Chain A
Amino acid sequence: MKTGTKTWSVPVFWGLVILVACVLPFVVSNYHTFQLTLVLVYAIALLGLNILTGYNGQISLGHGAFYALGAYCAAILMDKASAPYWATVPAAAVVCLVAGFLFGLPALRLEGLYLALATFALGVAMPQLLKYHALEKWTGGVQGIVINKPDAPAFFPNMGLPLNPDQWLYFFTLAIMLIMFILAWNLLRGRIGRALVAIRDQHIAAEAMGIHNAFYKSLAFGVSAMYTGVAGALGAIAVQFVAPDSFNIFLSIVFLVGIVIGGLGSIAGAVYGALFIQFVPNIADEISKAAPWAIFGVFMIVFVYLMPTGVAGALRLITRRRAP
């Protein structure tokens, strides 16, 4: 009976969530639609980091660098090659997959704290790399690149469904996010997901059972960077602007905050984390400019002490207790 209630309640819950997500942009203002688009973007990025850190146990404090890479990919393609906005997303995915895989290869030799150190250095050094004058021709240096907001395709108004650019971008992002989440769900519940978790929990035992540690770890790095890069591309299109200083170390830290609050090793956790990192600063900003960061810090410590599995873990606990 217990498993019976579970099998239908979870899909119904998420179906309702998606339905609400589809209705929301028609009832809230354009600015709020834009904010919700950013929530979707962050959710993809957090899912990417969660694949690496939550599922595979490799700590990254520099995922903002991959987000920046994806964002710059999209911006440069749109600005210099006048590529259509939708084509930049797969391009960013491929570039970041390769970049992540390559960074993952040396990272294989680094464990725990040392990987955290190396990625932290990557995150701190990234804005300087983006400002580098030899790349200025493409990256626009300190000024960054301004890109145009895409319009909704013509067939929506023709069908009698006029979407403004904000709403269209929201649905575009939502569609990509759903695809990415379904892909991740398929990837993580199967053989590969089990291998990643096994490596996280006991890498020697995993190796002994025939799991190719090196391959799976660099794969996790690549896929994780790909997700974050896709998020970066979508984020750049949504914000219509990229500049080196928006991709500093604090962006990477925000991602870490997101997965810790949302729930490590949980797909749904990425959504909770994204809502947290998008909306809590907005509320906290009214107290002081510094308040969001202080609140992030306090929340992180409180979660590590009291709720190490994050919001997702807490919800799982609650539903399990309520089930008969």
Chain B
Amino acid sequence: MDAFLHQVLAGLATGGIYASLALALVMIYQATHLVNFAQGEMAMFTTYIAWTLVNAGMPYWAAFLLTVAIAFVLGVVIERVIIRPVEQAPVLAIVVVFIALLLILNSVTGWIYTYTIKQFPSPFPEQPIFGRYLSSHEAGAIGVTLVVLALLYAFFRFTPLGLAMRAAAQNPESSRLVGIRVGWMLALGWGLAAAIGSVAGMMVAPIVYLDPNMMGGVLLYAFAAALVGGIDNPWGAVVGGFVVGVLENVLGAFVIGNELKLSVALVIIVGVLLVRPSGFFGRVQVTRV
């Protein structure tokens, strides 16, 4: 029972990280109906920036905030420069661009920082706070996820800009008519997604260590999380993240072993797409012929 409880709590911790990245995916999906395959690599790249800042002697939380800001700018620039020209292109072209982005970010990081695995510091104390079930980094990761969620909720619910962004995502034509600059709202959405992704990257790096391929698995779980929750529903993505995190840990520890953990994501993704393509909290899509 103890071991089980430990696995569930550890699953919640990684689940929080999946939830953040899934949230980033949902942000972009809601605004543009695209699934960003490069989300993981964007998070990885910004985590390297954080590593550079921390190594340059910056205090952790200052580096954290600066990284989030840099990630935001990076996201906006990527949308403006690379994604915008293919916005109306066929799906295949867009997927190709995303994959290209993934390759470029991955290789540029490898080029600058080499492929050797690096330690990434955790801002939370060494000794566990919550007894033996949860390391304090894991508890901290859950806390950070919840703070990010609360901030996002407040932003979208209570600020005019958040309202404008929701409007632009829901009905671009009408939003344009009332004077919202829809293009820029999309870019802001990308910026926010990149910023959330960078938080996920910085939270996961102390667990999986820093290397250019660290986000491959995480991205897969985030896809699974977003799909479980319904890819157009932010709350669903968060719930999905925690569900996938717990499932991954519990199944990995007791049922199928750690070797096949990634296949859990594969099965969840294919299973959800087949049985409930709109996820458990998403809106059912009806297409008009």
Contacting pair B223 A253 (CB below 8 A): no
Q: A61-B95, A109-B277, A128-B262 are in contact. List 12 more A-B contacts (CB 8 A).
A: A118-B270, A121-B220, A124-B220, A124-B266, A128-B263, A129-B260, A253-B102, A256-B99, A290-B108, A293-B104, A293-B106, A297-B100
The range of chain B's interface size is 35 or more
The minimal Cβ–Cβ distance linking B22 to chain A, given in whole angstroms, is 13
B266, A297: Cβ atoms under 8 Å? no
In the complex, the answer to whether A113 meets B91 with C-beta atoms within 8 Å is yes
Q: Is A305 an interface residue (CB 8 A)?
A: yes
A298 contacts chain B at the CB level, 8 A cutoff: yes
User: Are A289 and B100 neighbours in the complex by a CB distance under 8 Å?
Assistant: no
Do the beta carbons of A125 and B266 come within 8 Å of each other?
A: yes
Please, which residues of chain A bring their CB within 8 A of the CB of B261?
128
* Docked pose: A59 CA to B227 CA in angstroms: 18
Count chain B CB atoms within 10 A of each CB in A133, A253, A296, A304 and give the residue with the most.
A304
Contacts of B82 in A (CB 8 A): 301
Given contacts A106-B270, A109-B274, A121-B220, is CB(A260)–CB(B104) below 8 Å?
no
- A114 vs B211: C-alpha distance when bound (angstroms): 28
Query: A-facing mask of B89-109, CB < 8 A → 1, else 0?
Result: 101110111011111101110
B259 contacts partner chain A, Cβ-Cβ < 8 Å:
yes
Q: How far is the CB of A185 from chain B (nearest CB, A)?
A: 23
Residues of B within 8 A of A124 (CB): 216-217, 220, 262, 265-266
Is the C-beta of A150 less than 8 angstroms from some C-beta in chain B? Answer: no
User: Can you report 12 A-B residue pairs in the complex whose CB atoms are below 8 A from each other?
Assistant: A61-B99, A113-B35, A113-B91, A121-B223, A121-B270, A124-B220, A124-B265, A125-B266, A128-B263, A129-B263, A293-B107, A297-B100
Q: Of A112, A121, A122, A290, which contacts B107 at CB under 8 A?
A: A290
The verdict on A315 contacting chain B, using a C-beta distance below 8 Å, is no
Give CA–CA (A297, B289) in the complex, Å. 36
* CB atoms of A297 and B269 under 8 A apart: no
- The complex places the Cα of A124 from the Cα of B224 at a distance, in Å, of 13
